[in-house]
Amino acid sequence: AQKVTQAQTEISVVEKEDVTLDCVYETRDTTYYLFWYKQPPSGELVFLIRRNSFDEQNEISGRYSWNFQKSTSSFNFTITASQVVDSAVYFCALSERGSQGNLIFGKGTKLSVKP
């Protein structure tokens, strides 16, 4: 069973649309951390956010926002007013004690923002 599921393989939107990328995770640990990374066409993974299991406050950073809900084991990522530069593959990842902090990644969601 996958520990991190990103059900959306590809999403295509038009510039200025809002878009939400879904992430569902599975863990037995009570202490764990969730991450989002962006992988633009250049290939390098860029860190976006980290969230610990004890903090369910939503976070906003500019056009980006994250919604963490332990009740549904989800950590969704919303981009408001998308731009062409947001086009990339986005990965959700889990770090848990059981895996000694090694990141467990989802398969990623490829976002295409068209002008």
With beta carbons less than 8 A apart as the criterion, state whether 97 and 29 touch.
Answer: yes
Q: Which residue has the tokens 């878009």?
A: 19
Q: How many residues make contact with another protein (CB under 8 A)?
A: 29
* Phi, psi (degrees; rounded to nearest 5) at 70: -65, -30
The nearest distance, CB 98 to another protein, in angstroms, is 10
Query: Counting contacts by CB under 8 A, is residue 33 touching another protein?
Result: yes
Q: Any idea how long the chain is?
A: 115
Nearer to another protein, 4 or 19 (CB): 4
Look up residue 25 and give its two tokens.
Answer: 């995770």
* 32 bridge partner residues: 96
Q: Which positions from 66 to 95 touch another protein by CB under 8 A, shown as an x/- string?
A: -------------------------x-x-x
Euclidean distance between CA atoms 47 and 36, whole angstroms: 6
Instruction: Select the span of 19-27, 70-78, 80-88, 102-110 touching another protein (CB under 8 A).
Output: 102-110
The nearest distance, CB 15 to another protein, in angstroms, is 25
The nearest distance, CB 81 to another protein, in angstroms, is 26
Look up residue 67 and give its two tokens.
Answer: 């919604």
